[in-house]
Amino acid sequence: MGEFEAIRPYDDAEVAEVLARLSADPAFLGALTRFRFPRLAGPLGWLLKPVIAHRLRREFHGIASVTALQDKIEPYVDRTIERATDGVTYSGVDKLTPGSPYLFVANHRDIVMDPAFVNYAVYHAGVPTPRIAIGDNLLQKPFVSDLMRLNKSFIVHRNLAGRREKLAAFQLLSAYINHSIRVDGQSIWIAQAEGRAKDGDDRTDSAILKMFHMSRKDEPFASVIHDLHVVPVSISYEYDPCDLAKARELYIRATTGSYEKAPGEDDTSIALGITGYKGRVHIAFNDEIREDIGDAKLLAAEMDRRILGGYRLFPVHYLAYALWSERDPALAVPKLESLFGNDEIARARAEWQKRLDACPEEQRPWLVLQYATPVRNQYRIKAGLPL
Protein backbone atom coordinates (compact mmCIF):
# COMPACT_ATOMS: atom_id res chain seq x y z
CA MET A 1 0.00 0.00 0.00
CA GLY A 2 3.10 2.25 -0.04
CA GLU A 3 2.14 3.96 -3.29
CA PHE A 4 -1.15 5.11 -1.73
CA GLU A 5 0.38 6.45 1.50
CA ALA A 6 -0.51 10.07 0.74
CA ILE A 7 -4.22 9.46 0.16
CA ARG A 8 -5.31 6.26 1.93
CA PRO A 9 -7.51 6.02 5.06
CA TYR A 10 -5.92 5.01 8.35
CA ASP A 11 -5.75 1.29 9.02
CA ASP A 12 -6.50 -0.54 12.27
CA ALA A 13 -2.90 -0.42 13.51
CA GLU A 14 -3.00 3.41 13.45
CA VAL A 15 -6.33 3.96 15.19
CA ALA A 16 -5.13 4.13 18.82
CA GLU A 17 -2.30 6.54 18.00
CA VAL A 18 -4.54 8.90 16.00
CA LEU A 19 -7.24 8.88 18.70
CA ALA A 20 -4.61 9.79 21.29
CA ARG A 21 -3.44 12.63 19.05
CA LEU A 22 -6.98 13.93 18.65
CA SER A 23 -7.57 13.83 22.41
CA ALA A 24 -4.67 16.26 22.84
CA ASP A 25 -5.27 18.48 19.80
CA PRO A 26 -6.13 22.04 20.99
CA ALA A 27 -7.95 22.92 17.73
CA PHE A 28 -10.10 19.79 17.92
CA LEU A 29 -10.87 20.32 21.61
CA GLY A 30 -11.74 23.95 20.87
CA ALA A 31 -14.12 22.94 18.07
CA LEU A 32 -15.83 20.38 20.32
CA THR A 33 -16.12 22.93 23.13
CA ARG A 34 -17.75 25.48 20.81
CA PHE A 35 -20.13 22.83 19.43
CA ARG A 36 -21.09 21.36 22.82
CA PHE A 37 -21.11 24.57 24.88
CA PRO A 38 -21.49 27.50 22.46
CA ARG A 39 -22.29 30.09 25.15
CA LEU A 40 -19.57 29.02 27.60
CA ALA A 41 -16.79 28.24 25.09
CA GLY A 42 -15.46 31.82 25.10
CA PRO A 43 -15.20 32.71 28.80
CA LEU A 44 -14.76 29.17 30.15
CA GLY A 45 -13.08 27.40 27.24
CA TRP A 46 -9.83 27.04 29.22
CA LEU A 47 -11.74 25.11 31.88
CA LEU A 48 -13.94 23.00 29.58
CA LYS A 49 -11.20 21.75 27.23
CA PRO A 50 -9.47 19.52 29.83
CA VAL A 51 -12.86 18.09 30.82
CA ILE A 52 -13.67 17.25 27.20
CA ALA A 53 -10.18 15.80 26.67
CA HIS A 54 -10.67 13.51 29.69
CA ARG A 55 -14.09 12.45 28.38
CA LEU A 56 -12.62 11.68 24.95
CA ARG A 57 -9.82 9.55 26.41
CA ARG A 58 -12.40 7.59 28.37
CA GLU A 59 -14.66 7.14 25.32
CA PHE A 60 -11.75 6.13 23.08
CA HIS A 61 -10.21 3.71 25.59
CA GLY A 62 -9.80 0.22 24.16
CA ILE A 63 -10.75 1.17 20.58
CA ALA A 64 -8.17 -0.43 18.30
CA SER A 65 -9.90 -0.80 14.92
CA VAL A 66 -11.87 1.29 12.44
CA THR A 67 -14.88 -1.03 12.80
CA ALA A 68 -14.84 -0.65 16.60
CA LEU A 69 -14.67 3.13 16.21
CA GLN A 70 -17.62 3.14 13.78
CA ASP A 71 -19.60 0.95 16.18
CA LYS A 72 -18.81 3.44 18.96
CA ILE A 73 -19.88 6.56 17.05
CA GLU A 74 -22.92 5.01 15.34
CA PRO A 75 -25.34 5.87 18.21
CA TYR A 76 -24.20 9.53 18.00
CA VAL A 77 -24.76 9.51 14.23
CA ASP A 78 -28.19 7.98 14.75
CA ARG A 79 -29.13 10.66 17.28
CA THR A 80 -27.93 13.44 14.97
CA ILE A 81 -30.01 11.99 12.14
CA GLU A 82 -33.08 11.65 14.38
CA ARG A 83 -32.82 15.29 15.50
CA ALA A 84 -32.30 16.73 12.01
CA THR A 85 -34.70 14.60 9.94
CA ASP A 86 -38.26 13.32 9.94
CA GLY A 87 -36.95 9.85 9.14
CA VAL A 88 -34.56 8.13 6.76
CA THR A 89 -35.69 5.44 4.32
CA TYR A 90 -33.74 3.47 1.79
CA SER A 91 -34.43 1.12 -1.09
CA GLY A 92 -32.38 -1.35 -3.11
CA VAL A 93 -29.98 -2.12 -0.27
CA ASP A 94 -31.38 -5.66 -0.22
CA LYS A 95 -29.82 -6.17 -3.67
CA LEU A 96 -26.32 -5.66 -2.26
CA THR A 97 -24.43 -8.85 -1.45
CA PRO A 98 -22.64 -8.76 1.94
CA GLY A 99 -18.94 -9.34 1.34
CA SER A 100 -19.07 -8.09 -2.24
CA PRO A 101 -17.38 -4.70 -2.81
CA TYR A 102 -19.12 -1.98 -4.83
CA LEU A 103 -18.28 1.40 -6.32
CA PHE A 104 -21.13 3.64 -5.14
CA VAL A 105 -21.42 6.70 -7.40
CA ALA A 106 -23.92 9.16 -5.92
CA ASN A 107 -25.43 12.55 -6.56
CA HIS A 108 -23.91 15.23 -4.35
CA ARG A 109 -25.92 17.77 -2.36
CA ASP A 110 -24.25 17.89 1.06
CA ILE A 111 -20.53 17.82 1.91
CA VAL A 112 -20.68 15.42 4.87
CA MET A 113 -24.18 13.99 5.02
CA ASP A 114 -24.29 12.41 1.53
CA PRO A 115 -21.72 9.72 2.38
CA ALA A 116 -22.96 9.62 5.99
CA PHE A 117 -26.46 8.62 4.85
CA VAL A 118 -25.05 5.96 2.52
CA ASN A 119 -22.99 4.65 5.45
CA TYR A 120 -26.12 4.74 7.63
CA ALA A 121 -28.07 2.67 5.12
CA VAL A 122 -25.45 -0.02 4.51
CA TYR A 123 -24.41 -0.22 8.19
CA HIS A 124 -27.97 -0.91 9.30
CA ALA A 125 -28.35 -3.45 6.50
CA GLY A 126 -25.33 -5.38 7.74
CA VAL A 127 -23.17 -4.47 4.73
CA PRO A 128 -19.63 -3.11 5.35
CA THR A 129 -19.39 0.67 5.01
CA PRO A 130 -17.46 2.05 2.01
CA ARG A 131 -14.28 4.06 1.87
CA ILE A 132 -15.18 7.69 1.13
CA ALA A 133 -13.62 10.01 -1.44
CA ILE A 134 -13.16 13.50 0.02
CA GLY A 135 -11.57 16.57 -1.56
CA ASP A 136 -8.41 17.95 0.05
CA ASN A 137 -9.99 21.42 0.02
CA LEU A 138 -12.05 20.30 3.03
CA LEU A 139 -9.02 19.09 5.01
CA GLN A 140 -7.39 22.40 5.86
CA LYS A 141 -7.07 21.55 9.56
CA PRO A 142 -5.00 18.50 10.64
CA PHE A 143 -7.69 17.27 13.05
CA VAL A 144 -10.30 17.28 10.25
CA SER A 145 -7.99 15.14 8.11
CA ASP A 146 -7.45 12.77 11.05
CA LEU A 147 -11.18 12.46 11.70
CA MET A 148 -12.05 11.78 8.07
CA ARG A 149 -9.23 9.29 7.50
CA LEU A 150 -10.25 7.44 10.66
CA ASN A 151 -13.73 7.11 9.16
CA LYS A 152 -12.44 5.35 6.02
CA SER A 153 -12.02 8.52 3.96
CA PHE A 154 -9.33 8.81 1.29
CA ILE A 155 -8.07 12.05 -0.19
CA VAL A 156 -8.81 13.44 -3.64
CA HIS A 157 -6.22 16.10 -4.50
CA ARG A 158 -7.99 19.00 -6.18
CA ASN A 159 -5.84 22.06 -5.58
CA LEU A 160 -3.32 21.25 -8.29
CA ALA A 161 -2.25 23.82 -10.87
CA GLY A 162 -0.29 21.93 -13.53
CA ARG A 163 -1.73 19.52 -16.06
CA ARG A 164 0.97 16.94 -15.30
CA GLU A 165 0.23 17.07 -11.55
CA LYS A 166 -3.50 16.68 -12.16
CA LEU A 167 -2.92 13.72 -14.45
CA ALA A 168 -0.67 12.03 -11.88
CA ALA A 169 -3.27 12.61 -9.13
CA PHE A 170 -6.04 11.10 -11.29
CA GLN A 171 -3.82 8.14 -12.13
CA LEU A 172 -3.11 7.51 -8.44
CA LEU A 173 -6.79 7.88 -7.54
CA SER A 174 -7.79 5.43 -10.29
CA ALA A 175 -5.21 2.91 -9.10
CA TYR A 176 -6.38 3.27 -5.49
CA ILE A 177 -10.07 2.77 -6.33
CA ASN A 178 -9.28 -0.32 -8.41
CA HIS A 179 -6.95 -1.67 -5.70
CA SER A 180 -9.54 -1.08 -2.96
CA ILE A 181 -12.26 -3.01 -4.78
CA ARG A 182 -10.27 -5.73 -6.57
CA VAL A 183 -7.52 -6.43 -4.00
CA ASP A 184 -8.75 -5.19 -0.61
CA GLY A 185 -12.40 -6.11 -1.25
CA GLN A 186 -13.47 -2.71 0.16
CA SER A 187 -16.33 -0.66 -1.30
CA ILE A 188 -15.90 2.97 -2.38
CA TRP A 189 -18.23 5.99 -2.25
CA ILE A 190 -17.57 8.86 -4.65
CA ALA A 191 -19.66 11.79 -5.89
CA GLN A 192 -20.81 11.77 -9.52
CA ALA A 193 -19.11 15.15 -10.08
CA GLU A 194 -16.75 17.50 -8.29
CA GLY A 195 -18.65 19.86 -5.99
CA ARG A 196 -22.26 19.90 -4.91
CA ALA A 197 -25.12 20.25 -7.41
CA LYS A 198 -26.23 23.58 -5.99
CA ASP A 199 -28.87 24.11 -8.69
CA GLY A 200 -30.49 20.70 -8.05
CA ASP A 201 -29.35 19.37 -11.43
CA ASP A 202 -27.59 16.08 -10.61
CA ARG A 203 -25.37 15.14 -13.56
CA THR A 204 -22.53 12.64 -13.84
CA ASP A 205 -19.21 14.03 -15.02
CA SER A 206 -17.82 11.65 -17.65
CA ALA A 207 -14.29 12.66 -16.53
CA ILE A 208 -14.93 10.85 -13.24
CA LEU A 209 -15.86 7.69 -15.16
CA LYS A 210 -12.79 8.01 -17.39
CA MET A 211 -10.68 8.27 -14.25
CA PHE A 212 -11.84 4.82 -13.10
CA HIS A 213 -10.29 3.43 -16.29
CA MET A 214 -7.03 5.44 -16.29
CA SER A 215 -4.91 2.93 -14.38
CA ARG A 216 -6.07 0.06 -16.62
CA LYS A 217 -5.99 1.68 -20.05
CA ASP A 218 -4.83 -1.50 -21.74
CA GLU A 219 -8.17 -3.14 -20.85
CA PRO A 220 -11.60 -2.43 -22.41
CA PHE A 221 -13.54 0.35 -20.64
CA ALA A 222 -16.66 -1.84 -20.22
CA SER A 223 -14.60 -4.63 -18.65
CA VAL A 224 -13.13 -2.26 -16.05
CA ILE A 225 -16.58 -0.93 -15.16
CA HIS A 226 -17.85 -4.52 -14.71
CA ASP A 227 -14.94 -5.31 -12.38
CA LEU A 228 -15.71 -2.28 -10.21
CA HIS A 229 -19.40 -3.20 -9.67
CA VAL A 230 -20.67 0.35 -10.18
CA VAL A 231 -23.92 1.11 -8.32
CA PRO A 232 -25.56 4.52 -8.97
CA VAL A 233 -27.04 5.98 -5.77
CA SER A 234 -29.79 8.62 -5.51
CA ILE A 235 -29.77 10.68 -2.28
CA SER A 236 -32.94 12.73 -1.81
CA TYR A 237 -33.50 15.43 0.81
CA GLU A 238 -36.96 16.82 1.36
CA TYR A 239 -35.37 20.10 2.49
CA ASP A 240 -31.79 21.28 2.06
CA PRO A 241 -30.47 23.10 5.16
CA CYS A 242 -28.07 25.03 2.88
CA ASP A 243 -30.68 26.00 0.26
CA LEU A 244 -30.67 29.74 1.10
CA ALA A 245 -26.86 29.90 0.98
CA LYS A 246 -26.88 28.06 -2.35
CA ALA A 247 -29.53 30.47 -3.74
CA ARG A 248 -27.36 33.40 -2.71
CA GLU A 249 -24.29 31.91 -4.40
CA LEU A 250 -26.20 31.10 -7.59
CA TYR A 251 -27.64 34.64 -7.69
CA ILE A 252 -24.18 36.24 -7.23
CA ARG A 253 -22.68 34.01 -9.94
CA ALA A 254 -25.52 34.85 -12.33
CA THR A 255 -25.32 38.61 -11.75
CA THR A 256 -21.55 39.11 -11.41
CA GLY A 257 -20.09 36.14 -13.31
CA SER A 258 -18.16 34.71 -10.36
CA TYR A 259 -18.34 33.84 -6.68
CA GLU A 260 -15.57 33.86 -4.08
CA LYS A 261 -16.06 31.88 -0.88
CA ALA A 262 -15.59 33.71 2.40
CA PRO A 263 -13.07 32.28 4.90
CA GLY A 264 -14.69 29.45 6.84
CA GLU A 265 -17.62 29.15 4.44
CA ASP A 266 -17.09 25.42 3.90
CA ASP A 267 -16.98 24.89 7.68
CA THR A 268 -20.30 26.73 8.03
CA SER A 269 -21.84 24.61 5.25
CA ILE A 270 -20.62 21.42 6.90
CA ALA A 271 -22.04 22.39 10.31
CA LEU A 272 -25.39 23.51 8.84
CA GLY A 273 -25.60 20.40 6.65
CA ILE A 274 -25.13 18.15 9.67
CA THR A 275 -27.41 19.87 12.16
CA GLY A 276 -29.96 21.66 9.91
CA TYR A 277 -33.50 20.38 9.33
CA LYS A 278 -33.80 18.08 6.32
CA GLY A 279 -37.35 16.73 6.57
CA ARG A 280 -37.43 13.22 5.14
CA VAL A 281 -34.41 11.63 3.47
CA HIS A 282 -34.38 8.71 1.05
CA ILE A 283 -31.37 6.77 -0.27
CA ALA A 284 -32.02 4.63 -3.35
CA PHE A 285 -29.42 2.05 -4.36
CA ASN A 286 -30.13 1.63 -8.05
CA ASP A 287 -29.30 -1.46 -10.11
CA GLU A 288 -25.62 -2.18 -10.68
CA ILE A 289 -24.30 -1.27 -14.14
CA ARG A 290 -24.02 -4.67 -15.83
CA GLU A 291 -24.50 -3.60 -19.45
CA ASP A 292 -21.52 -3.43 -21.81
CA ILE A 293 -21.11 0.34 -22.16
CA GLY A 294 -17.77 1.08 -23.78
CA ASP A 295 -17.83 4.89 -23.71
CA ALA A 296 -17.66 7.24 -20.71
CA LYS A 297 -20.22 9.71 -22.13
CA LEU A 298 -22.74 6.95 -22.82
CA LEU A 299 -22.15 5.56 -19.33
CA ALA A 300 -22.64 9.03 -17.83
CA ALA A 301 -26.01 9.27 -19.61
CA GLU A 302 -27.06 5.88 -18.20
CA MET A 303 -25.88 6.88 -14.72
CA ASP A 304 -27.95 10.05 -14.97
CA ARG A 305 -31.01 8.07 -16.04
CA ARG A 306 -30.75 5.86 -12.96
CA ILE A 307 -29.77 8.51 -10.42
CA LEU A 308 -32.38 11.03 -11.57
CA GLY A 309 -35.00 8.33 -12.00
CA GLY A 310 -34.36 7.02 -8.48
CA TYR A 311 -34.61 10.45 -6.85
CA ARG A 312 -37.51 10.63 -4.35
CA LEU A 313 -39.70 13.64 -5.06
CA PHE A 314 -41.49 15.22 -2.10
CA PRO A 315 -44.41 17.72 -2.11
CA VAL A 316 -42.01 20.69 -1.89
CA HIS A 317 -40.51 19.75 -5.26
CA TYR A 318 -43.91 19.99 -6.95
CA LEU A 319 -44.70 23.26 -5.14
CA ALA A 320 -41.44 24.73 -6.46
CA TYR A 321 -42.06 23.37 -9.96
CA ALA A 322 -45.43 25.13 -10.07
CA LEU A 323 -43.61 28.44 -9.40
CA TRP A 324 -40.77 27.82 -11.84
CA SER A 325 -40.73 30.13 -14.84
CA GLU A 326 -38.82 27.50 -16.86
CA ARG A 327 -41.17 24.57 -16.29
CA ASP A 328 -41.97 22.55 -19.40
CA PRO A 329 -45.72 22.66 -20.23
CA ALA A 330 -45.29 19.62 -22.49
CA LEU A 331 -44.29 17.40 -19.56
CA ALA A 332 -47.09 15.37 -17.97
CA VAL A 333 -46.40 16.39 -14.38
CA PRO A 334 -49.38 15.32 -12.24
CA LYS A 335 -51.24 17.57 -9.83
CA LEU A 336 -49.83 17.65 -6.31
CA GLU A 337 -53.18 16.60 -4.87
CA SER A 338 -53.16 13.36 -6.86
CA LEU A 339 -49.88 12.27 -5.28
CA PHE A 340 -50.02 13.30 -1.63
CA GLY A 341 -52.55 13.63 1.18
CA ASN A 342 -53.98 16.97 2.34
CA ASP A 343 -52.11 17.02 5.67
CA GLU A 344 -48.79 16.28 3.99
CA ILE A 345 -49.37 19.03 1.43
CA ALA A 346 -50.36 21.54 4.12
CA ARG A 347 -47.17 20.86 6.09
CA ALA A 348 -45.10 21.24 2.91
CA ARG A 349 -46.80 24.51 1.98
CA ALA A 350 -46.06 25.97 5.42
CA GLU A 351 -42.38 24.93 5.35
CA TRP A 352 -41.91 26.07 1.76
CA GLN A 353 -43.46 29.46 2.50
CA LYS A 354 -41.07 29.89 5.45
CA ARG A 355 -38.14 29.32 3.12
CA LEU A 356 -39.49 31.69 0.47
CA ASP A 357 -40.06 34.39 3.12
CA ALA A 358 -36.50 33.98 4.42
CA CYS A 359 -35.02 34.33 0.94
CA PRO A 360 -34.40 37.83 -0.51
CA GLU A 361 -36.81 38.41 -3.38
CA GLU A 362 -34.09 38.75 -6.03
CA GLN A 363 -32.62 35.36 -4.98
CA ARG A 364 -35.90 33.40 -4.94
CA PRO A 365 -35.69 32.17 -8.55
CA TRP A 366 -32.52 30.30 -7.56
CA LEU A 367 -34.21 28.82 -4.50
CA VAL A 368 -37.10 27.64 -6.69
CA LEU A 369 -34.62 26.25 -9.23
CA GLN A 370 -33.01 23.90 -6.67
CA TYR A 371 -36.28 22.17 -5.81
CA ALA A 372 -37.95 22.32 -9.26
CA THR A 373 -35.12 20.88 -11.38
CA PRO A 374 -35.45 17.28 -10.06
CA VAL A 375 -39.11 17.27 -11.14
CA ARG A 376 -38.26 18.28 -14.69
CA ASN A 377 -35.44 15.75 -14.87
CA GLN A 378 -37.47 12.84 -13.59
CA TYR A 379 -40.50 13.45 -15.81
CA ARG A 380 -38.26 13.87 -18.85
CA ILE A 381 -36.88 10.40 -18.09
CA LYS A 382 -40.39 9.00 -17.67
CA ALA A 383 -41.38 10.49 -21.02
CA GLY A 384 -38.26 9.12 -22.72
CA LEU A 385 -37.07 12.64 -23.53
CA PRO A 386 -33.40 13.69 -23.62
CA LEU A 387 -32.03 15.38 -20.54
Q: What is the mean pLDDT of each run of 10 residues along the chain (387 residues)?
A: 87 94 89 75 76 89 92 87 93 93 97 92 91 87 87 87 88 97 97 94 97 97 97 98 97 96 85 92 97 96 97 98 94 96 98 98 98 97 91
Q: In what order do the strands lie in the sheet with 103-106?
A: 88-91, 281-285, 230-237, 103-106, 188-191, 131-135, 153-156
- d(Cα 58, Cα 46) in Å, to the nearest integer? 20
pLDDT at residue 41 in the model: 65
Same domain, 148 and 269: yes
Same domain, 293 and 308: yes
At 320, which amino acid appears?
A
pLDDT at residue 184 in the model: 96
132 and 154 Cβ atoms separated by less than 8 Å:
yes
Residue 46 belongs to some domain of the structure:
no
Residue 15 belongs to some domain of the structure:
no
Range of the domain at 359: 313-386
Same domain, 225 and 323: no
Same domain, 97 and 160: yes
pLDDT at residue 147 in the model: 87
123 and 73 Cβ atoms separated by less than 8 Å:
no
Same domain, 355 and 256: no
- Is 133 exposed, middle or buried (CB count within 10 Å of its CB: 0-12, 13-18, 19+)? buried
Same domain, 129 and 267: yes
Same domain, 226 and 353: no
- The residues that bridge with 280 in the sheet, in sequence order, are none
pLDDT at residue 170 in the model: 93
pLDDT at residue 29 in the model: 86
Residue 22 belongs to some domain of the structure:
no
pLDDT at residue 274 in the model: 87
Same domain, 277 and 333: no
Domain boundary among 312, 337, 360: 312
Domain boundary among 259, 286, 312: 312
Classify each residue of 178-206 as buried b or exposed e, where b means 16 or more C-beta atoms within 10 Å of its C-beta.
Answer: bbbbeeeebbbbbbbbeebbbbbbbbbbb
Same domain, 103 and 213: yes
Domain boundary among 260, 284, 312: 312
Same domain, 343 and 382: yes
